[in-house]
Amino acid sequence: MAVYNNIGDTIEGEAVDFDGRLIRSQGAKKHPLTKKTMKLFTTDRNSHAVVRKAGVEPTDEEVKAATAHFHRDVDDKVTADALSVYTDLKAKVRPETIHGEGASGQHGTNFATVNNHTIATVKMPLPNLMKKLGMSNNALTTVNDAD
Amino acid sequence: MAKEIERTIGTTMETSIYVEQQRTGDTFPQITMCTMRDGAFVAMQPANSGNIVFAGVSQGTSVISRMVGADYAEMMELLTRAVNNRTRQRNYFRLLNNLLEGLISEDDFYKEIEEKEDEYVIEEMETPSPERLRHALILSQGIKDVQNSEDLSSLFSFSSEATDHELKKIEADGRL
């Protein structure tokens, strides 16, 4: 078991739990490395994803090489302010809002369990970068906010 | 660098305008100044003339790209791509709504996506150059819900690995 938090760090599992202050469904997208059509979710702030059932190494040599840096052991975890979470297209993903321990103050956190193939990667949040560059991001909106 | 150029051009320009004004008695011309990452240019239209005069300096191609409209063409292409990717998202959620409303079966839902992938599935198809990523970041200021590097790469069909790599460099530099 290990915790990863650098941009690009990735976990892969046959079952994965993930959470975040916000979870956004982003539709269908081909995973950039496995080329598999999957459902994409992104999370915002205080996000985690942890392998619950170990990932299976791909048999295709090209995909195997491209995903050699993935972490696939049970309890391997990524934690960051932004994650991309690709799940199997047919996976049932139903985020629940939870309050109390692990949730911040008056806001809850959204939590989801996926019992299918899932790949989660640490991404770079943009608002801080844009601010640093003196650029505006005031067109940003938040949706699916937790209660 | 651009600020240095702007300062130099500004001083030179003001001096020449003053000399010209003393010589002809004209009022100040209309001046447009544009500074970019690696250069700057001015466009000047004397008050009693229909001609517009350009002058500029550049260490890279950004001034030329701006003046010949290459930037504009690239931004149009990126925006078109962004609209098409948002349309793919809309199509997916429209189809999902049909499934939830019971208008189509689950089998029909997956079959439709599989058969018409280009209508529903976003694909990464380009490793962006630093310049294109810079343009994408500029455009993303006015586009809703671009919150992280995954949103940016999905919107413009950029390789997410390459996008992260370039964004890390931009963050370290602290400038575009």
Q: Which residues make Cβ contacts (< 8 Å) with residue A128, sequence separation at least 6?
A: none
pLDDT digits (tens, 9 = 90+) for B66-117: 777 777 888 999 999 999 999 999 999 999 999 999 999 999 999 999 999 9
**Chosen domain end from B60, B79, B108:** B60
Same domain, B39 and B87: no
Same domain, B16 and B93: no
Within-domain flag for B65: no
pLDDT digits (tens, 9 = 90+) for A61-85: 999 999 999 999 999 999 999 999 9
What's the predicted TM-score (pTM) here?
A: 0.79
CA atoms of B134 and B60, how far apart (whole Å): 15
Chain A residues with at least one Cβ partner in B under 8 Å? 7-8, 24, 26-30, 32-33, 37, 40, 42, 44, 82, 84, 89-90, 121, 123-127, 129-130, 132-133, 135-137, 139-141, 143
Same domain, B111 and B34: no
ipTM of the complex: 0.86
In chain A, what are the helix, strand and coil shares in percent, each to the nearest 5?
10, 45, 45
Tokens 């002809």 found at: B24
Domain coverage including residue B94: 70-173
Instruction: At A103, give phi and psi (nearest 5°).
Output: -100, 150
Instruction: At A73, give phi and psi (nearest 5°).
Output: -85, 155
Same domain, B95 and B158: yes
Instruction: At A8, give phi and psi (nearest 5°).
Output: 100, -20
Inter-chain contact A124–B143, Cβ cutoff 8 Å? no
Within-domain flag for B41: yes
**Chosen domain end from B60, B85, B105:** B60
Same domain, B77 and B53: no
Domain definitions of chain A by residue range: 3-132
Q: What Rg value do the Cα atoms of chain B yield, rounded? A: 24
Task: Please give the tally of structural domains in chain B.
Answer: 2
